[in-house]
Amino acid sequence: MSDPNAPYKNTPWYTEEHHIFRDQLRRWVEGTLTPHAAEWEAAGIFPREVFEEAGRRGYLGVRYPEEVGGAGGDIWHTMVWSEELPRSEMAGLAMALLVQSDMATPIIGELGTAEQKEEFLRPALRGEKIAALGVSEPQAGSDVAGIRTYAKKDGDDYVISGSKMWITNGTRADFITLAARTDMNDRYGGVSLFLFPTDTPGFSVGRKLDKVGNRVSDTAELYLDACRIPKRYLLGQEGAGFYYIMQNFQGERLVGASSGTAGAQLVLNKTIAYAQDRKAFGKPLTAFQVNRHKIVDMETQLEAVRRLTYHAADLFGRGVPCQREISMAKLMAAQTAMRVVDECVQLHGGMGYMEEMYVARAWRDTRLLAIGGGTNEIMKEILGKLMGL
C-alpha cells in the first residue's frame, strides 16, 4: 500500500492532533521496538525498560486525567495507541502494554481511592510498576462468576488463597488487579476486586506458560497461599467485583478489536508488497486476477470491521451504552483478522510457512484474538441475549 495511513484518513474522529500523535508513536515503535522483534521473540520476553520508556513518553496514560499522571487524551488517542503497537511486529508486546494501559488499570482510575491511585495507578502509568489483571483461573476462563480464589476477612485484613491462570505480565507484575470470591454462596454478588502487591508473602509464580503465539509476552500461572493484605486494598465495594469486571471488559474488547484489525492490516500491507515483487510463471502474483480479487476482498473486510470498531469507540468515548457494538466489533475483528492473515500465508506460498517470515509469526499470534478477552462463542452469547434470543 503506497500510503500506510490510508486506513486512518477520511474519518471524522481523528483530528490533526491525533495524526501528529500517530506519527510520533509510529517513529518510536518502528525505530525502537521493531528492530528487536526477532531477538525478543527468541527470548520469549521483552525488557522491562519498554514499560518505563512508554511511561516516560506518556503512552501508558494517554487517556487518563493529568491529575493521576495521565496525558489527558481521549478515546481516539487510545485507538491510535492500540493501532500502532502492532507495528512492533510482536503481538505479545502489544498485548502486554495494552494490559498495562487499558485492562488492569482503567478500573483503578474509575473506582480507586486517592491513596490507591497514588500507590498503584500513578506508578503504573509511569511504567515504574508493571500491572496484571488476575481474573481467569484453571477452571474458570470465560466463566468469571465461577472463580474459586477466596478472600476471607480477618480483622483489618483479607486473607486470600487460590490460583490464577493465563495471566499476561504475570511473571514480573508488581501488582495485580485481582478478582477473588468474598462470598462462596453468591455466584454473582460474591466476587470482589483487590489491588494485590506481588511481594505479599504467600504469593508465587507457578510457571511461565509456553504459548503457541504471542511468545514475547510473559503469561503465567499464579498461586496465592494465605496471602494477607490490608482492607484498604479492596477496590470499590465488596461483592460488586463481577459487575466491575463485566464493565471493564468493554474497554479491553475494544482495544482488542482495534489492535487485531490493525495487526491484520499490517500483514496485508506487507503481503501486497510481497505479491507485487514475487513472480510466478514470469508475472507478479498481483497480475493474476484471482490474487487481486483476494486482496481486494481482504482490504474491504478490514475496512468494514475497522469502521464498526470506530463506531463502537465513538459510543464508548461518549459514555453511551455499547456492549452490543463492542461485542460485534470484537467478534468480527477476530474472525476477519484470522481469515486475512491465513490468506496472506497462502499468498506467500512455501515462504509463508517459514519462521523467518513475519507472516508466519502473525498467523500464530492472531489466533488468540478469538479466545482472549472473551471467546467468539461468548461474544455470540452476549449478542444473542441482547437480541432477545
- The catalytic residue positions are 252
Number of C-alpha atoms within 13 angstroms, CB side, residue 47? Answer: 10
Contact 221, 176 (CB under 8 A): no
Neighbours of 142 (CB within 10 A): 12
Write the pLDDT tens digit of every residue in 317-331: 999 999 999 999 999
| CATH topology assigned to domain 131-239 | Butyryl-CoA Dehydrogenase, subunit A; domain 2 (2.40.110)
Q: Where in the chain is the domain with CATH 1.20.140.10?
A: 243-386
Q: Where in the chain is the domain with CATH 2.40.110.10?
A: 131-239
Mean pLDDT of 280-298: 97
User: Would you say residue 162 has pLDDT above 60?
Assistant: yes
Quote the pTM value. 0.96
| CATH topology assigned to domain 6-125 | Butyryl-Coa Dehydrogenase, subunit A; domain 1 (1.10.540)
Contact 25, 80 (CB under 8 A): yes
Q: What is the pLDDT of residue 189?
A: 96
User: Would you say residue 3 has pLDDT above 80?
Assistant: no
Contact 148, 181 (CB under 8 A): yes
- Look at residue 284 and give its three-state secondary structure: strand
Q: What is the pLDDT of residue 2?
A: 58
Q: Where in the chain is the domain with CATH 1.10.540.10?
A: 6-125
Q: What is the pLDDT of residue 125?
A: 98
For the chain, the average pLDDT equals 96
Pairing assessment for the beta strands 203-208 and 219-230 based on DSSP bridges: antiparallel
**% the chain with pLDDT above 90:** 95
Mean pLDDT of 261-289: 96
Q: How far is CA 7 from CA 54, 178, 258, 329, 359, in A?
A: 25, 37, 12, 17, 20
Mean pLDDT of 301-324: 98
Q: Give me the helices (H) in the chain, please.
A: 16-28, 37-43, 49-56, 75-84, 91-102, 106-111, 114-116, 122-125, 241-277, 289-317, 323-348, 358-366, 376-386
Which superfamily, per CATH, for 243-386?
Answer: Butyryl-CoA Dehydrogenase, subunit A, domain 3 (1.20.140.10)
Contact 93, 33 (CB under 8 A): yes
